[in-house]
Amino acid sequence: MAEQAFSNLQAASHETSGLRSVAADFSSDRQAFKNVPWGKVMMWIFLLSDTFVFGSFLIAYMTARMSTTVPWPNASEVFALTIAGTTLPLILIAIMTFVLISSSGTMAMAVNYGYRRDRRKTAALMLLTALLGATFVGMQAFEWTKLIHEGVRPWENPWGAAQFGSTFFMITGFHGTHVTFGVIFLLIIARKVWRGDFDQERKGFFTSRKGNYEAVEIMGLYWHFVDLVWVFIFAFFYLW
């Protein structure tokens, strides 16, 4: 009897230690995120959650478009520009897309030079990326102004289905907000790189370990995500 009780106690103790071992493995980051900086992990988690948000918006857009009985506006007409008497469909959108995709290239080069600890080229490329991002936001503001002037509202649309205005302003506005915040943080990180904060381990926000340009790479993850989302928005709104 005593031996059985001792055996049960020993088994329970072994099970408890086993569960504690599993918890310790996850909490100490031994398996799931081995050798991955927490800043990068947190950015990936944020981007995953943001993917669900944008995915929900685009699914809502598809649902509204396929369920409405009113004709959906023709993107080639709605987003056309008249230059020197010639109507050019989607010309502004094509330029916006080219600018944003180009900024993804400059951001990738900035990360590359960050690994090489070339702070001047890294900062210059990040500033160029911010400039391209600001140009994109400026062109998007022009696009919004043009559509509002032509009578597009979240609740009405002179070209057809009223849902067009609400979904367009919501999704492109949400994406434009992401780009705007990205530009702000690009300027902050570029300033830190230019001053040599990552080389001198100067105290402050977003300053990682000495000689570690991890913040540049994390900023690159965010920026590439923003560019990728625009590809889907471009396909859904302007090509469909």
> Looking at the 3D structure of the chain, how many domains does it have?
2
User: Residue 6's domain spans which residues?
Assistant: 1-34
Instruction: Tell me if 167 sits within 8 A of 175, measured CB to CB.
Output: no
Alpha helices in 86-162 (DSSP H): 91-115, 119-149
In terms of domains, do 7 and 111 share one? Answer: no
Higher pLDDT, 239 or 5: 239
- The string of pLDDT tens digits covering residues 206-239 is 555 555 678 899 999 999 999 999 999 999 989 8
Residue 53 clears pLDDT 90, i.e. is over it:
yes
In terms of domains, do 159 and 42 share one? Answer: yes
- The string of pLDDT tens digits covering residues 57-115 is 999 999 999 998 888 888 888 898 888 888 888 899 999 999 999 999 999 999 999 98
**Dihedral-angle region of residue 14 (phi above 0 means left; psi in -120 to 50 means alpha; beta otherwise):** alpha
In terms of domains, do 227 and 154 share one? Answer: yes
Cα 110 versus chain centre, distance = 17
In terms of domains, do 23 and 60 share one? Answer: no
Distance in Å from the first CA to the final CA of the chain: 76
In terms of domains, do 21 and 110 share one? Answer: no
DSSP string across 167-188: HHHHHHHHHHHHHHHHHHHHHH
Cα 160 versus chain centre, distance = 31
Label residue 16 by pLDDT band (50, 70, 90).
Answer: very low
Higher pLDDT, 159 or 131: 131
In terms of domains, do 176 and 213 share one? Answer: yes
d(CA 103, CA 88): 24
Q: What is the CATH number of the domain that holds 66?
A: 1.20.120.80
